Amino acid sequence: MEQWAYKTVKYTPGGFLGGKVKEEDFEDLLNSYGIEGWELVSCFDTSYGQGQSREVIAVFKRKV
C-alpha cells in the first residue's frame, strides 16, 4: 500500500486590501516545493469578501 505525506503552504497576497497575487513569486514558491519532490494536489483561496483573497492555500503530497 502506498503511503503519502502531505504539506499545506499558505501564500499571502499583496496589495492594500490583499488579493493581488504576484504570479512570479507564487510560481517560484510552487516550483521550490516541486524540486523537493512535492506534487501540488489542490490550491484555493480564503476570502475577505468581494473578490479579495486573504490567503492562497496550496496542498502538496509526496510518497513516504
Tell me the pLDDT tens digit for each residue of 10-54: 999 887 766 788 899 999 999 999 999 999 999 998 887 776 778
- Please give the pLDDT value at position 54: 85
Q: How far is CA 52 from CA 7, 15, 24, in A?
A: 24, 10, 19
Confidence of residue 8 (pLDDT cuts 50, 70, 90): very high
The helix/strand/coil state of 35 is helix
Helices (H), 1-64: 23-35
- Please give the pLDDT value at position 29: 96
Global pTM reads: 0.84
